[in-house]
């Protein structure tokens, strides 16, 4: 997969793209990430990328023309089926969207900044407008890195153990179950006996119920989208009676 990132702050990507799973994927040629400096497509002595909003108001807005030019400069290098604009006004990013994007051969990420981006970019250029959460950041660079990380690990061959992807949170709609490692006793806290029992059927049941319990406590709205057995549904009703 090839990912092109258009940003005013290319230096923000050097460290994250060179470390851990992303760095290894790039090193092995499974993933290529090209960071494009938006100022290279701005005009004037000061390479101005933003301007005051029409209608008045505080802050500055990224101009559309430099972004159009930056994307057009990439047209000979990729098919540009997916052009993503990071924006607080976008649809909420989730695991389903990550899987969808991981199936693409290439994509472009436009990093928003300041008070926003000229709406003509969203209306005529981008195919997706994505937010990573209901909060405001100083720019779209961190969301772009979140997208790259989430998508990258779903590309075949990037994560060494494919089985670990199947156990990820949200893979079946549930949050992940609790994990433990050595030692079995730590500061008065013990690993659940079932996990060291060697009984794989009981371990599987404990993990499933623990995932349901954690989802119930932290993201209860997700349970409405999960296919539960009658026994699991009764377990949820018990949680509702006991924990409210």
Residues of the chain with pLDDT under 50: none
- Confirm or deny that 134 is annotated as ligand binding: yes
End-to-end Cα, the chain, rounded Å: 46
Partners of 106 in the β-ladder: 2
Residues 200 and 115 in one domain: no
CATH of residue 94? 3.40.1280.10
Ligand-binding annotation for 191, yes or no, is no
Range of the domain at 83: 2-152
Claim to verify: residue 17 and residue 137 sit in the same structural domain: yes
Contact assessment for residue 38 and residue 49, using Cβ atoms and an 8 Å cutoff: yes
93 to 28, 48, 77, 134, 175: CA distances (angstroms): 27, 30, 26, 11, 16
pLDDT at 77: 57
**In this structure, are 40 and 137 located in the same domain?**
yes
35 is in an annotated binding site: no
Enter the pTM of the model. 0.89
Q: Which pLDDT score, from 0 to 100, does residue 14 have?
A: 96
User: What is the structure's pLDDT at 25?
Assistant: 97
Is 63 within the bounds of a domain?
yes
- Whether residues 74 and 171 fall in one domain: no
Give the residue from 97, 120, 152 where a domain finishes: 152
Note whether 207 and 177 are within 8 A (CB): yes
Residue 175's contacts (CB-CB under 8 Å, 6 or more residues apart) are 169, 211, 214, 215, 218, 219, 222
What pLDDT is recorded for position 163? 58
14 and 49 within one domain: yes
**What is the pLDDT, as a whole number, of residue 76?**
56
Contacts of 161 (CB under 8 A, 6+ apart): none
Domain count, the chain: 2
CATH number for 239:
1.10.1270.20
Residue 158 belongs to a domain: no
In the chain, helix, strand, coil percent, each to 5?
A: 45, 20, 40
Q: Report if residue 157 sits inside a domain.
A: no
Residues 82 and 177 in one domain: no
Please give the pLDDT value at position 207.
96
Q: Are residues 137 and 204 in the same domain?
A: no
* CA–CA gap between residue 156 and residue 160 (Å, rounded): 9
What phi-psi label fits residue 80: left (phi over 0), alpha (psi between -120 and 50 degrees) or beta? left
Q: Where are the beta strands (DSSP E) in the chain?
A: 2-7, 32-37, 50-51, 61-62, 83-92, 106-111, 128-131, 185-186, 189-190
Quick one: pLDDT at residue 80? 78
**Known binder of ligand: residue 177?**
no
- Is 135 annotated to bind a ligand? Reply is yes
């Amino acid at each position: 997969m090839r990912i092109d990132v258009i940003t005013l702050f290319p230096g923000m990507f050097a460290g994250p793209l060179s470390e851990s799973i992303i760095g290894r994927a790039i090193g092995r040629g499974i993933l290529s990430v090209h960071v494009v400096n938006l100022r290279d497509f701005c005009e004037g002595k000061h390479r101005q990328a933003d301007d005051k909003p029409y209608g008045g108001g505080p802050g500055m807005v990224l101009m559309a023309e430099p972004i159009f030019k930056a994307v057009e400069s990439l047209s000979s290098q990729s098919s540009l089926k997916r052009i993503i604009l990071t924006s607080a006004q976008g649809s909420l990013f989730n695991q389903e969207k990550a899987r969808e994007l991981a199936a693409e051969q290439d994509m472009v990420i436009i990093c928003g900044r300041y008070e926003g981006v000229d709406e003509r970019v969203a209306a005529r250029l981008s195919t997706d407008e994505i937010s990573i959460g209901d909060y405001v950041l100083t720019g779209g660079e961190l969301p772009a890195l979140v997208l790259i990380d989430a998508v990258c690990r779903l590309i075949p061959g990037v994560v060494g153990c494919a089985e670990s992807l199947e156990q990820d949170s949200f893979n079946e709609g549930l949050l992940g179950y609790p994990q433990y490692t050595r030692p079995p006793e730590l500061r008065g806290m013990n690993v659940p006996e079932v996990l060291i029992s060697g009984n794989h059927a009981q371990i599987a049941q404990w993990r499933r119920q623990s995932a349901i319990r954690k989802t119930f406590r932290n993201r209860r709205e997700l349970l409405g989208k999960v296919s539960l057995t009658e026994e699991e549904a009764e377990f949820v009703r018990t949680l509702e009676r006991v924990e409210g």
